[in-house]
Every structure is written in C-alpha cells, then in structure tokens.
Amino acid sequence: MERIEVELFTDGGNDAVVRMPGRQFPGVLVQGDSLHILRSDAAEVARACERGDLDEARDSAGLLLANLDAWLARYEAALGEHEIPRPY
C-alpha cells in the first residue's frame, strides 16, 4: 500500500470528487458498497432483458441512469466551482 495526498473537491461522501497526483482532471471515488449497488442495478437490467420483460428493464435502466446522472451532476458542479473545464 502506498499513501498519497489527493485533492478533495467535495465532501467525502460515497461519491467524492478527487484528483489523484499526476492527473489533469478529477475523478469520482466510488465506495465499494456503492460500486456493488451499481453493478447489481446493471445486472437487473440485463436479467430483465433476458426475460424479455422490457417494462422492468426500462424501469431498472431508468433508476440506474438517474443514479449515474446524480453522480455526473455532482462531478460537473465540483468542476464548475473550481473553474476546471470538463474533460469531455
């Protein structure tokens, strides 16, 4: 394990916006439990598609997209507050 200093652009939380040494742009630090939930949500979309249950797939995909949109909005807000251009 190596200990390093990172730049923290938001509060810690489950989706902290941080910049690692040597990187031009910050990233989002996703906690392990949040990553597991994200993976589970994507798996539910895939299972619903395999069953041919498009209504369930659409609902599950909508929830997944809403969560990703919230993370992206937090990321973009942090960049804006620190006058960092978006990397995309």
Domain boundaries along the sequence of the chain: 7-81
This prediction has a pTM of 0.88
Nearest to 75 by CA among 7, 16, 8, 21: 16
What residue type is 46 in one-letter code?
A
Query: Which tens digits make up the pLDDT trace of 15-42?
Result: 999 999 999 999 999 999 999 999 999 9
Residue 14: pLDDT band by 50, 70, 90 thresholds?
Answer: confident
* pLDDT band for position 59 (cuts 50, 70, 90): very high
Q: Is 70 exposed, middle or buried (0-12, 13-18, 19+ CB in 10 A)?
A: exposed
Residue 12 has pLDDT above 90, yes or no: no
The pLDDT of 48-60, averaged and rounded, is 97
Is the pLDDT reported for residue 86 higher than 90? yes
